[in-house]
Structure 1
Amino acid sequence: MMSPVSVVVILVCWVLSGSLWAASLSGLGDTVMGPEKFRGVANFTTFLLDRSSNTLYLGARDAILAVDTSKLNQPPRMIIWDVPEEKRHSCVAKGKTEVDCNNYIRLLEFLGDGHIYVCGTYAFDPQCAFLELSSFTLEKSEDGGIKMETGKGKCPFEPSQHYTAVMAGGTLYTAATSNFLGTLFDISRATGPEQERIRTERSINWLSDPEFVSSAFIEQDADSNPTGDDDKIYFFFTEVAKEYDLYTKVKVPRVARVCKSDVGGMKTLQRRWTTFLKAQLVCEDKPSGQRYNVLTDVFTTQHTPGDPSSTHFYGLFTSQWEREELSAVCVFSLSDINKVMDGPFKELKKTCENQPWINHEPIPTPRPGQCLNNALKAEGYESSLKLPDKVLTFVRDHPLMENSVTAAPLLVRKGIRYTKLAVTQTGSGDEQRGALLHLGTDRGELHRVAVVGQNATMLQEIPLFSSQEPVNNILLHQGRVLVGSPLSLARLQAEGCSLYPSCKVCARARGLGCVWSTKEEACRPTATEPGPGDMVDEALRKCDREEGRCSPSIMELRVARGLRLLLPCVQLSPRSCSWEHPPHRHTRQHHSDLEVTVTEDSLGTYICTCQEAGPGVRDPTPCRRAAYQLTLEGPSAGGNVASAGVRHVLAIYILVFCGGVLFGIFLFYFITRRPRSLSRQGHHLPDNSLSSEKGRDLLGSSATPQSPSSASLLSEGFRLTEKRNGTTTTTTTTTLLSSQGNGGHLSNSYSSSLIHSNPSNGHGNTIYGNCNTSASGLKFATEILAADMLDGRTGERERGR
């Protein structure tokens, strides 16, 4: 039995740790469901929200779950739909991994008759079933098993394959691979009457090694489209361009369009799309010439609710050519896309001179690729089956448009990879103020960015999950944002000025109609328009900020040789930042911050400049965000730095102390109990029994792990990205990496992050097992020594510029 002292210590530690996690949760103001809530189920990939009942359906590995979004503290309902053992063995025998040979639920769509259509990979043999909502069970067949039908063309074979699907008028439209090897790709009408199930032509001019991202069903105005024949489905993907004849494969983002009324051609394009057109999306920052050519996510929204013509598509991009992590957001309007689709076609003429794409062939009548609108019907074309062969031949050979849909990025961030995007509009109609972007990262964070005109302002960086859990789903519902990872689920407030608890963060949201109330000490909405000039800068000055946004004073830091520290650069606008520094320095940039190893050559001035756009200014302008002067001091500086770090990691030290006390009690109990047990067995130990072998055994079990070598920047279990800079409202990052050659004044290494590894499935994605994390799913940022920890303890002084 445990001693009374150990029981008391455990209770105290439990209360302290519980209060710390509660503080983190209260900072978010909402709820996080960790892996333990899902009872061993993992790999959540698909979200489907029933807005009438506030029920969120989750597609996972071998299971379907239902979560009440208003009561996340309740355990979810669950249906197990796994693969029979013999089928799993057959899948492995075909060369697939055991991890992949499960049933990953990739499709959840409402059928409109009280059922959900559910499709899973089913050990590389896609199958679909019907989920009855009233009983939350899968329909049974006559033999008592689950009623299933083939999912080929509706669901991918492999859990890692890119895929998208959308339901339009009760009919399923999908973009997926259509064979076991993953070499054939189709955009198809996957359900409905058999004769109307059509797909794309098997031609690289139609689809060339695509990576499907998103899809959207856009209904036209009912007055001009009473039968819905002019409704369209849009697909977004990245593919290898065939219009560029280069030495390497060039990826390009595309938008493709098909018509709901399309049933294929009579002779040409039988059971194929007769309305398939595609155009290139160009997200380019013209001042720098940087083009972002890989599309990773798309969020569809109507700027004016109820008006389909106001539809906008917010695209999340990265670059094929950049080695470092890079993310950009561009927005494209439906009207711009339709203008390009109504423009000239592109034609490839291959000659010995390798001429580019040209177009000399006249466009036949009626125009190829258009939907069956009222004008076409009046001319006698009631169905795509009646279209002339010359029209079908032309559209078969010319799926690509000459012009591109272009947009300038709303924001660009280096050092961060965003994975998912959702957008909240502020205001409505003509009084619309701007947009709030909710961006999920590959390290389990949620970032919020305010976009007003050409101004993008970073508001919050919120850690939600383990850094090993990328955000893979974001949904907006009733003023809340639901954020998912492969292992966890979080619910946060998505709208309102109350999101921003400090004056400085509220000031950054000035363009969204927020203002800081000094009387209430809270951020409140206002109808007053900001005055002329920089609205954010004016609002920041009201927060008793001593210097302007682009004129920081120089912060002098006294440092010791061998010290590795992080110089923060707080971004108000998520655009690229650069550093001016001594020429012979040893540095490494992480996001906008700069990590510096202190040597004789690295002393000097460090200045961070970010590109920001002001009101009415389209092109970004440089803005100085931070300035530091590194001055060499004696070894005592290291001791002061270490003491500063101790004060900044008080919560972690409490937990470490409790763990040490518990370990001491266990060790004492083990030492005192073991001789007694041996004596009861008749073995009498001599006085020197704790020397020699037994002593080594005891020491070996309690030896302190060695600290990571100071010669390397990061250990295997340490991620610099656990930091948070000054922009966060929930955690403030201060980071100490390691000390090298400082006389032992920085002997402590701080690392409180739980890093767990997950087996890769061999296809570039990670299959997640259930992890032993905290109940909230939140984590404390690893403490690293940053410049803001040196305040007042290493002789920091501010000097005028």
Structure 2
Amino acid sequence: MALRGVMLLLLPACCLLSSGGSEAASIGGVGVTLGPQTFKNVTDFSTFLLDRSSGVLYLGARDAILAVDTNNLNQQPRKIVWDVPEEKRKSCVGKGKTEVDCNNYIRLLEFLGDGRIYVCGTYAFDPHCAFLELSSFTLEKTEDGGIRTETGKGKCPFEPAQHYTAVMASGILYTAATSNFLGTLFDISRATGPEQERIRTERSINWLNDPEFVSSAFIEESADVNLTGDDDKIYFFFTEMAKEYELYTKVKVPRVARVCKSDVGGMKTLQRRWTTFLKAQLVCEDKSSDRRFNVLKDVFTVQHSADDPSSTHFYGLFTSQWEPEDASAVCVFSLKDINKVMDGSFKELKKNCENWMNPEPIPTPRPGQCLNSALKGEGFESSLKLPDKVLTFVRDHPLMENSVTAAPLLVRRGIGYTKLAVTLMGPGAVLHLGTDRGEIHKVAVVGQNATLLEEIPVFPAKEPVNNMLLYQGWALVGSPLSLARIQAEGCALFGSCEVCAKARGLGCVWSSTEKACSLSQEDPGPGDVVDAALRECGLGRCRPIMEDMRVSVGQRLLLPCVQLSPRPCSWDHPPHRLTRQHHSDLDVTVTEDSLGTYICSCQEGGPSVRDPTTCHRAAYHLSLEGPSVERSKSLAGSRQIIAFYILSFFLGSLFAAAIMYFVIKRKTPGQHQAADTSLSSDKGKGFMGSSVTPQSPSSSSLFSEGFRLMEKRNGTTTSTTTTTLLSNQGNGGPHGNGHGGSKNSNGINGSSNSGELKLASDMLVANMLDGRTGERARPERGERESEEGYGIVGGLGDGLNEGIKGLEEELASFPMFRSNAPLAPCEESSI
């Protein structure tokens, strides 16, 4: 038993070593990944910068910068070390920061256009920037041999985990970051260039209210289509607390803000501040279910037509502030819609006596607009010449009245998406979605329909996807520890008839003779083209293959039914109460009445479709797998032995309590003093049981300290406190991963939450009594007890500890406690 416990402890460590030892492992046959062993102790990758002319990818990490040749991943990456001096590190720790955070995390890598890269790091909560020479791959040095640096405040965040974004526009750096040590001041600024042109946002909650910056984009106007001489613009995407909704609660809202490249601030009002800063709310709302996704996670910018900046679209990845579980949605916003809102009416935020004031008249020229040919013709060649009334208005009215609204392209629950990249294919697009458990999900979007093509595991579950770039048909995917390259474009990446059929709306066709997927220019025809293509593969989206599942009474199953449409799904199943729907999946507790056929039906089509079609997405048939006669006899005999042990255990406990009572009475005749219940008292030490329960963090017993094991729940790895006995005999043991015939269900009966640790014997008794157990009420630490009563409790505690240990050793030998664990529900949906 002890040996098995040691093996269970060593197993996660062995798996960790094996996962990190692969230098160029295959990913589903379509790519390679570089693990931690390749990067040799360089970790915490947070920044990507790709040189598209050479294919070299620069990675910002902790105390280092790496250069990886994406065309030759077998070549060892080049490395530059840029760490923090020990004195500065100690000073950072002395200010209350952790030793881990007091390093130099490279958060900014941008090309300067003169053969150098601008590099900025947190530098122990004192941001510094340096210059990297591409030709020699070294940081520029000063005359004394040190690294040439300049301040990074306003260019790089102070803390490694702070939200941050930056973009380079015509050689000038624009950033959105915190600007003080405490992380309480936020700026969107022009961080480089001439000193007199370095401007930022106003320090007002009307402008920025506790924002979480997500992304930024520079939209350069083309002279061919820009007939008005309008200025180039920089767009920033973030989530902030909505001041306009603060009457009842704090509500987060996603925003898009716009500034103009030629803005240099005002002459008197808004000196060294933006005169063109405007922001609008982004609304990603599913009106059919009245669900709004209000937290922005990532934005990917795509230009739908070549050489036409006005065709730019922003694909936003959202979650919800109010969803109790992971929920993700993708909405797309066009640049034309954003500019239309920016040219609309302004929101009036001033209040007087609980009544909203009438909006102020908009002065001329229009506040917040970029300089164009017409304004320059009127004498406004620079923002310094704008009238004070215009600048005062834009200072007090940065928020637009209308919102930029879009319906979700897809909604997925139970999955936490972290990054997004988009590939345009034919009439639709392929969304490459990175998850918080190290996977890439590919989703085809054609019109209002979204179809999950495949789910590719890229990294171990503990490594979330935090970076993604598209380059020459490949997706470069990063995690804090690893780098992967997977194929991202073309029908050829779909290696099976089923996946190719799901991409039929994108123009992909499967060749049964060549066993390959290729692009076809033929019209797919009317109707459900995906369902028709699946029928040619012997499958059917609306006629799924019935999966037969052999189950046993008492098992808990999660029957998956993947639905990406915002519209709901429903289940047809035998009428009984032991079912619960998790989003589109169904949680079933198996009884004799629950056997039969289960069919999942989903409404297809987006929210704009008035009459959606209903499609069967999954079908299962549950049949009973009865136990053998010999096993039934064995279980009956085991129950009799267990009952005998329980009876003997309680009789022994009562006998021990009686002995303790008489011993104490003999030592203290005629005295009835109150017992000292403090932990520091030595009185009665030999008789009292431990007053520190296994749940107490101060207990020195094995149960309280426990072993820190890793548990996978919902695809994410969490730390779980448990004991060797529970690991061997509980559902999380080596035999506890039975799947009951469902290849897409994951058992989580063995999971235990932090703070719910119980004695192993309590768990076993709970199983024998079908979970109906009662807990003894423990006296409060401050209560006073008589010495006789305290001695009885102490003696009973000692007897219980000995009895529990013996009972555990005996029960561990029974085969019934080593049987396969039943399945339990998880929040994972997969095809």
TM-score range with shorter-chain normalisation?
0.7 to 0.9
Aligned: 1:628 with 2:629: no
**TM-score, normalised by the number of residues in structure 1:** 0.76
Cα distance in 2 for residues equivalent to 1:615 and 1:540: 25
Letter in 2 for 1:407: A
Q: Which residue in the other structure is 1:775 paired with?
A: none
Whether the aligned pair in 1 keeps the contact of 2:327 and 2:415 (CA below 8 Å) is yes
Q: Which residue in the other structure is 1:362 paired with?
A: 361
List per-residue Cα deviations over 1:35-72 (Å, max 9, x = no partner).
11000000000000000110000000000000000111
Letter in 2 for 1:476: L
Whether the aligned pair in 1 keeps the contact of 2:598 and 2:621 (CA below 8 Å) is yes
Whether the aligned pair in 1 keeps the contact of 2:121 and 2:128 (CA below 8 Å) is yes
Letter in 2 for 1:222: A
Whether the aligned pair in 2 keeps the contact of 1:345 and 1:359 (CA below 8 Å) is no
Aligned: 1:496 with 2:495: no
Cα distance in 1 for residues equivalent to 2:476 and 2:254: 27
Matches within 5 A, 1:237-636: 237-353=238-354, 355=356, 360-427=359-426, 433-545=427-539, 548-552=540-544, 555=547, 557-571=549-563, 577-579=569-571, 585-586=577-578, 592-600=584-592, 602-603=594-595, 605-613=597-605, 617=609, 621-636=613-628
Letter in 1 for 2:406: A
Cα distance in 2 for residues equivalent to 1:481 and 1:718: 37
Whether the aligned pair in 2 keeps the contact of 1:422 and 1:439 (CA below 8 Å) is yes
Distance 1:145 1:529, change over 3 A: same
The structural deviation recorded for 1:352 is 3.0
The structural deviation recorded for 1:525 is 1.0
Cα distance in 1 for residues equivalent to 2:226 and 2:124: 43
Query: Which structure exhibits the higher relative contact order, with contacts defined as CA atoms closer than 8 Å and separated by 6 or more residues?
Result: 1
Letter in 2 for 1:411: L
Q: 3-state DSSP class of the match of 2:255?
A: strand
The structural deviation recorded for 1:629 is 4.0
Letter in 1 for 2:381: E
Letter in 2 for 1:747: S
Whether the aligned pair in 1 keeps the contact of 2:27 and 2:33 (CA below 8 Å) is no
Distance 1:738 1:245, change over 3 A: closer
Q: Which residue in the other structure is 2:113 paired with?
A: 112
Q: Identity across aligned pairs (percent)?
A: 74
Identify which of 723, 743, 747 aligns with 2:819: 747
Q: Which residue in the other structure is 2:802 paired with?
A: none
Matches within 5 A, 1:38-77: 38-77=39-78
Cα distance in 2 for residues equivalent to 1:213 and 1:119: 18
Distance 1:242 1:51, change over 3 A: same
Whether the aligned pair in 1 keeps the contact of 2:410 and 2:564 (CA below 8 Å) is no
Distance 1:542 1:327, change over 3 A: same
Cα distance in 2 for residues equivalent to 1:303 and 1:505: 25
Cα distance in 1 for residues equivalent to 2:543 and 2:56: 49
**TM-score, normalised by the number of residues in structure 2:** 0.74
Gapped runs of 5+ residues in structure 1?
A: 1-12, 428-432, 640-703, 727-731, 752-781, 790-801
List per-residue Cα deviations over 1:769-788 (Å, max 9, x = no partner).
xxxxxxxxxxxxx999x999
Structure exhibiting the larger radius of gyration computed from Cα positions: 2
Q: 3-state DSSP class of the match of 1:27?
A: coil
Whether the aligned pair in 1 keeps the contact of 2:24 and 2:33 (CA below 8 Å) is no
Whether the aligned pair in 1 keeps the contact of 2:554 and 2:822 (CA below 8 Å) is no
Q: Which residue in the other structure is 1:193 paired with?
A: 194
Q: Which residue in the other structure is 2:144 paired with?
A: 143
Cα distance in 2 for residues equivalent to 1:715 and 1:250: 43
List per-residue Cα deviations over 1:264-317 (Å, max 9, x = no partner).
000000000000000000001111111100000000010012110100000000
Gapped runs of 5+ residues in structure 2?
A: 1-13, 632-722, 751-766, 771-814
Cα distance in 1 for residues equivalent to 2:331 and 2:825: 34
The structural deviation recorded for 1:349 is 2.8
Cα distance in 2 for residues equivalent to 1:342 and 1:719: 59
Whether the aligned pair in 2 keeps the contact of 1:299 and 1:313 (CA below 8 Å) is yes
Cα distance in 2 for residues equivalent to 1:227 and 1:49: 34
List per-residue Cα deviations over 1:418-476 (Å, max 9, x = no partner).
1000000113xxxxx11111000000000000111111110010000010111000100
Cα distance in 2 for residues equivalent to 1:103 and 1:62: 5
Distance 1:441 1:526, change over 3 A: same
Cα distance in 2 for residues equivalent to 1:624 and 1:746: 39
Letter in 2 for 1:367: R
Cα distance in 2 for residues equivalent to 1:299 and 1:73: 29
Letter in 2 for 1:507: A
Letter in 2 for 1:110: F
Matches within 5 A, 1:115-126: 115-126=116-127
Letter in 1 for 2:403: S
Whether the aligned pair in 2 keeps the contact of 1:566 and 1:787 (CA below 8 Å) is no
Distance 1:42 1:454, change over 3 A: same
Cα distance in 1 for residues equivalent to 2:594 and 2:97: 52
List per-residue Cα deviations over 1:614-673 (Å, max 9, x = no partner).
79937755433123343444115999xxxxxxxxxxxxxxxxxxxxxxxxxxxxxxxxxx
Task: Report the more deviating stretch, 620-629 or 159-168.
Answer: 620-629
Distance 1:468 1:621, change over 3 A: farther
Aligned pair count? 662
Distance 1:599 1:115, change over 3 A: same
Cα distance in 1 for residues equivalent to 2:191 and 2:735: 45
List per-residue Cα deviations over 1:483-542 (Å, max 9, x = no partner).
000000000111111111111111100011101111112111100011111111111111
Cα distance in 2 for residues equivalent to 1:319 and 1:401: 23
Cα distance in 1 for residues equivalent to 2:746 and 2:290: 35
Cα distance in 1 for residues equivalent to 2:287 and 2:42: 46
Letter in 2 for 1:384: S
Cα distance in 2 for residues equivalent to 1:226 and 1:120: 41
Q: Which residue in the other structure is 1:154 paired with?
A: 155
The structural deviation recorded for 1:555 is 4.7
Q: 3-state DSSP class of the match of 1:460?
A: strand
Q: 3-state DSSP class of the match of 1:412?
A: strand
Cα distance in 2 for residues equivalent to 1:471 and 1:335: 31
Cα distance in 1 for residues equivalent to 2:396 and 2:42: 47
Distance 1:583 1:95, change over 3 A: farther
Distance 1:787 1:375, change over 3 A: closer
Matches within 5 A, 1:637-716: 706=725, 708=727
Distance 1:455 1:788, change over 3 A: closer
Distance 1:461 1:82, change over 3 A: same
Distance 1:313 1:255, change over 3 A: same
Query: What is the root-mean-square deviation in Å for CA atoms of aligned residues?
Result: 3.6
